[in-house]
Chain A
Amino acid sequence: MKDIVEEIAVKEKKTLGFWIYLMTDCVLFAGLFATFAVLRTSTANGPTGAQIFDMPFVLSETLILLTSSFTIGLAIQGSARGYKKQTLFWLIVTFALGAAFLTLELSEFSHLTQVGNGWDKSAFLSSYFTLVGTHGLHIAIGLLWLVVMIFRLWYLKFKQSDLNRLALFALFWHFLDVVWIFIFSIVYLIGGLS
């Protein structure tokens, strides 16, 4: 009985530690958002947001990421009840959606650089690529983490430590979704107005 109590205490501490990491990540993104907000109109005769953003494309990206945030929640629900197959299924769905999101984002980036609107064109585009690219990097790292967990679950026994890791991953993924909502609103919707 004492062991279980101790284990829960350790788990809570780990969750809190990871949570504090996410909050510091928030501060990192706050800096990038502030930079973007200041440099939004500094287009240096280059294109403005309204000229380069493809709204339906961005909306589909947003909906994909939102759905993946939902499916990771379903995976957590499955794991909390001890259903391994269900957990694996939703993890793989989450991975597919996350990979689709990253592919769309990278294709948008390569399209922009190919038509000559790369990060070196103007301060606006520099801050845009830094902010959205940092989020994309987080997504890429999250996908790597997800692959490791899928393989662990596939080949090894389902353990309490796996559940704890999954819970932390879900926090990370939901957090990235929240950051994307602000990128969608501030960068694409407001940046695309002018």
Chain B
Amino acid sequence: MRPQLESRHSPTRYISYVVGFVLSIIATLMAYLIVVNHVWPMATLIYIILAIAVTQLIIQVVFFLHIGRGSHWRFVTFIFAILIVLIIVVGTIWIMNNLNYNMMRMTPAQQELYMQHNEGI
């Protein structure tokens, strides 16, 4: 038996899922091949992988989760969650790196050497 369905929002079409799926696979394979073949130096690679991951996040949010359709509160809470996530992750990495830097175990002589070599002081 087919239930009677409401049609307030036009049903999302198959094509949206297919496009999202194909784009996600391309992004995944691209990130994988770049890393496995070491196309760029490591420092560059990290940023490129993160950029591809964020691109894929946007792809999936648009084509799979269909954000922006339905109530706008979903979009607002999503943006708020992203903000909290960024504060937690970036803040933690920032603070802990700073802490590691300030708490390096060194003798005064080593410290002086380190300062001369790495900080130019």
A interface residues with partner B (beta carbon < 8 Å): 4, 7-8, 12, 15-16, 19-20, 23-24, 26-27, 30-31, 33-35, 37-38, 55, 59, 62-63, 66-67, 69-70, 73-74, 77, 80-82, 157-160, 163, 171, 174-175, 177-178, 181-182, 184-186, 189-190, 192-194
Known contacts A74-B17, A80-B5; decide if A33 and B42 are in contact (CB<8 Å).
no
With a cutoff of 8 Å between Cβ atoms, the chain B residues found around residue A74 in the complex are: 14, 17
Closest to B11 in A: A80
Q: Are A160 and B49 in contact (CB under 8 A)?
A: no
Among candidates A30, A81, A157, A181, residue contacting B88 with C-beta atoms closer than 8 Å:
A30
Q: Are B89 and A181 in contact (CB under 8 A)?
A: no
* 14 A-B pairs with C-beta separation under 8 A: A26-B85, A33-B89, A34-B89, A35-B92, A37-B89, A38-B93, A63-B25, A66-B25, A73-B17, A80-B12, A158-B3, A177-B64, A178-B57, A190-B49
The 4 closest A-B pairs by CB, nearest first: A82-B2, A34-B92, A23-B81, A185-B53
Among candidates A12, A26, A181, residue contacting B70 with C-beta atoms closer than 8 Å:
A12
Rounded to whole Å, the gap between the CB of B47 and the closest CB of chain A is 10
Known: A16-B77, A55-B36, A186-B50. 20 other contacts (CB 8 A): A12-B71, A15-B71, A15-B74, A20-B77, A23-B80, A33-B89, A34-B88, A34-B93, A35-B92, A38-B92, A66-B24, A66-B28, A77-B11, A77-B13, A82-B2, A158-B3, A160-B5, A174-B60, A181-B53, A192-B35
Q: Are B14 and A77 in contact (CB under 8 A)?
A: yes
Rounded to whole Å, the gap between the CB of A192 and the closest CB of chain B is 7
Known contacts A30-B88, A34-B88, A66-B24; decide if A189 and B17 are in contact (CB<8 Å).
no
Q: Are A171 and B85 in contact (CB under 8 A)?
A: no
Rounded to whole Å, the gap between the CB of A152 and the closest CB of chain B is 14
Rounded to whole Å, the gap between the CB of A31 and the closest CB of chain B is 6
Q: Are A66 and B21 in contact (CB under 8 A)?
A: yes
Q: Are B6 and A7 in contact (CB under 8 A)?
A: yes
Closest to B78 in A: A23
Number of interface residues of B (CB under 8 A): 50
Rounded to whole Å, the gap between the CB of B34 and the closest CB of chain A is 8
With a cutoff of 8 Å between Cβ atoms, the chain B residues found around residue A171 in the complex are: 65
With a cutoff of 8 Å between Cβ atoms, the chain A residues found around residue B24 in the complex are: 66, 69, 181
**What separation, in Å, do the CA atoms of A167 and B2 have in the docked complex?**
17
Is B96 part of the contact surface with A, judged by Cβ < 8 Å? yes
Q: Are A190 and B46 in contact (CB under 8 A)?
A: yes
Known contacts A16-B73, A30-B85, A185-B53; decide if A193 and B42 are in contact (CB<8 Å).
yes
With a cutoff of 8 Å between Cβ atoms, the chain A residues found around residue B17 in the complex are: 70, 73-74, 77
Q: Are A163 and B28 in contact (CB under 8 A)?
A: no
With a cutoff of 8 Å between Cβ atoms, the chain B residues found around residue A177 in the complex are: 60, 64
